[in-house]
Amino acid sequence: MNELVSAVPWLGKRNPMAARWLIIIIALVAPLIAWQFGRSWVRILDFALLYMMLALGLNLVVGFAGLLDLGYIAFYAVGAYAFAFLASPHFDVHMPFWIVLPLAAGFAALAGIMLGFPVLRLRGDYLAIVTLGFGEIVRIFLLNLNYPINITNGPQGINMIDPINLFGWDLSRNLQITENFSINSLFLYYYFFLLCVAGSILFVQRLQISRIGRAWAAMRDDELAAKAIGINTRNMKLLAFSLGATFGGVAGALFGAFQGFVSPESFSLMESIAVLTMVVFGGMGNIAGAIVGAFVLALLPEILRDVAVPMQQTLFGTVILDPEVLRMLLLSLAMILMMLLRPSGLIPARARYAHAENMKREGAQ
Amino acid sequence: METLIQQLINGLVIGSVYALIALGYTMVYGILGLINFAHGDVLMVGALTALQTMLFLMGVAPGLSPIYMLTIALMVAIPVCMTLGFLMERLAYRRLRNAPRLAPLITAIGMSFLLQTVAMIIWGRNYHTFPQLISTTPLEPIAGVFITPVQVVIIIASAAIMIGLSLLVTRSKIGRAMRATAENHRVASLMGVDTNAVIAFTFVVGAALAAIAGVMFASNYGIAHYGMGFMPGLKAFTAAVLGGIGNLGGAMLGGIVLGLVESFGAGYIEHLSFGFLNSSYQDIFAFIILGLVLIFKPTGLLGERVSDRA
């Protein structure tokens, strides 16, 4: 939260308290504003929150531990499919939400460890390709495991997944307050997801300054030196993969329940890259960066969809760049230009430098 | 027995295409230590440019003989890809030579998706039929075993190109400069090698190979589209790692081996898994091989470099 606060332009440094309240108020009223533009915008905000969770999780792996993971969406898929298996008519199992969610998270964590073990010795670019392969393998299995036994229902995916149900309170139904006033289900999901994101931020923030977080930073900056000072890099890497995967799994489970259906299409490499771009764009190793990156890059394509498409209609008479192309163009350009012009991202991680300054000050005394 | 020989032929054909692409990866990696993720997409640009040229030629000069048409298409596709390779290096990778280690890789991934998107804008999302200029009527040299003339041409052409490239690298002056630069940039430049030019040259040669491989790939399968370069790119990378990245002979060997494994794997996976998996899992072989090689023999079959570089 502090990082997020100091990232608020102008106000963040002068009056952190005001900046903090500003963020909270914006987060709370955002869906009300979005509602004015149509219900689809609230839905987009809901998805933006899921992307934030994904970006936070990937940031653990890429930003904190320095392990470039290009198959991150596989864990999202594991979470979503775990939820779909355990709470849908597909196998006719309908477990309660509070049992399915930890299970989905657990499966994803397990998948993270499964990926982590073989790649322990790999670094940098090799790791990236192997994780990419892992993501593709998961997707290929999801796509083809409908034969000879139908497990994943192939390309059609799984439908009619149970909605999120908090102690008998079904989030997919509009909440009826009085006779003619009800709260739309999209808002209910928004505030629930917001709570999840807030919890994640808190967790990640504590994690970053914990022994584990510092061990990750040491490992990222110099693996050999980290080993020499007694950090068990193997366990730390596995922990990074499994914790990152847990975030992906939880986000995936929420995604499946929110959307009501899952199919392999949602877990393509492009999505892995999209989440990575969010982390890179915002600033690797930085919570505020992950949040802002996810927010901007989840919303911008949608805004473009609404602005650029009609604009092309009037300018050229036809749509030359359809929304999907625009999104890909935006993501790939964001990635390249960010690396060339501002490699540390929109909001550079400052923790390390702050420490260095402290040390300098102490040394001077 | 016929199936066995048939799989062998299929594996050799696709393997030689992988080998050509893998050479591009391995040359760039040998010199810069960079995985040029966008290399597979250069292949796609090559194939689609060739397609565009052929369609144009068919419109202007319908009576042109297929051999000329193919040659002209290659003459257009190769320079286009060379320019692309040159620009990628000059505008993006060169600036990142001293950047933190993840930066060039992330840029390369972005580049790959940028190329795909631009291709999608130019050529649309559809699969295009690639004109089969060389006959695809299968010959039957042995009873029950089929090989198309296209496949024969692919095998012979790749062998010729690989020999040519080996000669270029081992015998020519620029080849010696390339090897020196791969060994050590600074010392090479102290010895009067223009390392920037050598690196640019490497990208350009790799792109030219990718263009040719793209035309071969599209001719073999008869289709081309904006995403066609991705999978062969990844597989060729696997081939490069399998053979030992940075090693030219390794890339060729790795390509052939990978092609064979894939072809046999796809043919026999159903028996091996007791009918549980089928040939739609063909694509996972490359990834499994990649994982196994990196875990058990990260230097690859012929390589000396270690995967553990920071």
Q: Of the candidates A58, A81, A104, which has an alpha carbon nearest to the alpha carbon of residue A274?
A: A58
CB contact under 8 A, A124 and B284: no
CB contact under 8 A, B105 and A270: no
Q: Which residues pair with A88 in a beta bridge?
A: A93
Contacts of B106 in chain A (CB under 8 A): 68, 276, 280, 335, 339
- For residue A179, how many other CB atoms are within 10 A of its CB? 6
Residue of chain A minimizing CA distance to B294: A122
3-state secondary structure of B97: coil
Contacts of A144 in chain B (CB under 8 A): 277-278, 280-281
Residue of chain A minimizing CA distance to B233: A129
Asked if residue A15 is part of any domain, the answer here is no
The residue with greater pLDDT, A185 or A196, is A196
CB contact under 8 A, A336 and B92: yes
A115-143 average pLDDT score: 85
The Cα–Cα gap between B222 and B54 comes to: 13
Asked if residue A326 is part of any domain, the answer here is no
CB contact under 8 A, A121 and B92: no
A141-158 average pLDDT score: 85
Q: What is the pTM of this model?
A: 0.88
ipTM value for the complex: 0.85
Contacts of A321 in chain B (CB under 8 A): 121
Q: Find the helix packing angle between B284-296 and B230-243, rounded to 10°.
A: 30
What was the pLDDT predicted at A277?
Answer: 92
pLDDT at A196 over 90: yes
pLDDT band of A75, cuts 50, 70, 90: very high
B166-194 average pLDDT score: 91
pLDDT at A146 over 60: yes
Residue A28 near chain B (CB below 8 Å): no
pLDDT band of B217, cuts 50, 70, 90: very high
CB contact under 8 A, A328 and B291: no
The Cα–Cα gap between A42 and A32 comes to: 8
CB contact under 8 A, A335 and B307: no
What was the pLDDT predicted at A365?
Answer: 42
Please tell me what DSSP assigns to residue A210. Answer: S
What was the pLDDT predicted at B307?
Answer: 41
What was the pLDDT predicted at A324?
Answer: 83
Asked if residue A231 is part of any domain, the answer here is yes
What was the pLDDT predicted at B308?
Answer: 40
> Which structure tokens are listed for B160?
């010729």
Asked if residue A226 is part of any domain, the answer here is yes
Which of A126, A147, A277 is opposite residue B294, by nearest beta carbon? Answer: A126
What was the pLDDT predicted at B267?
Answer: 79
- The whole-angstrom distance between residue A101's C-alpha and the CA centroid of its chain comes to 16
Instruction: Quickly tell me which residue has 């739609």 as its tokens.
Output: B280
Q: Find the helix packing angle between A323-341 and A287-316, rounded to 10°.
A: 130
Q: Pick the residue of A142, A147, A271, A336 with the most B CBs within 10 A to test the interface with B by mutation.
A: A336
Per-residue model confidence as pLDDT tens digits over B263-294:
888 878 777 777 677 777 778 888 888 888 88
pLDDT at B100 over 90: no
Do B131 and B58 contact (CB within 8 A), yes or no? yes
**Percent of chain B having pLDDT more than 90?**
50
**Contact map slice: A 226-265 vs B, CB within 8 A:** none
Residue A175 near chain B (CB below 8 Å): no
Q: Pick the residue of B97, B101, B113 with the most A CBs within 10 A to test the interface with A by mutation.
A: B113
Asked if residue A275 is part of any domain, the answer here is yes
Q: Pick the residue of B117, B241, B292 with the most A CBs within 10 A to test the interface with A by mutation.
A: B117
Per-residue model confidence as pLDDT tens digits over B11-39:
999 999 999 999 988 999 888 888 888 99
CA angle A240, A245, A249 (to 5 degrees): 155
**For all residues of chain B together, what is the average pLDDT?**
88
- The whole-angstrom distance between residue A132's C-alpha and the CA centroid of its chain comes to 17
Question: How many domains is chain A partitioned into structurally?
Answer: 1
Please tell me what DSSP assigns to residue B139. Answer: E
Radius of gyration of chain A (CA): 21
Contacts of B100 in chain A (CB under 8 A): 343
What was the pLDDT predicted at B165?
Answer: 93
Asked if residue A139 is part of any domain, the answer here is yes
Q: Shortest Cα distance from A345 to chain B (angstroms)?
A: 11
Asked if residue A360 is part of any domain, the answer here is no
**Percent of chain B having pLDDT more than 70?**
97
What was the pLDDT predicted at B195?
Answer: 92
Q: Shortest Cα distance from B82 to chain A (angstroms)?
A: 20
Contacts of B112 in chain A (CB under 8 A): 332
Domain that holds residue A65: 37-295
**Sheet strands (E) in chain B:** 128-129, 139-142, 145-147, 223-224
The Cα–Cα gap between B108 and B233 comes to: 13
> Out of A17-26, A31-40, A355-364, B66-75, which region has the weakest mean confidence (pLDDT)?
A355-364
**For all residues of chain A together, what is the average pLDDT?**
86
Residue A155 near chain B (CB below 8 Å): no
Asked if residue A284 is part of any domain, the answer here is yes
Contacts of A136 in chain B (CB under 8 A): 234, 283-284, 287
Residue A225 near chain B (CB below 8 Å): no
- The one-letter code for the residue type at A29 is V
pLDDT band of B310, cuts 50, 70, 90: very low
- For residue A130, how many other CB atoms are within 10 A of its CB? 24
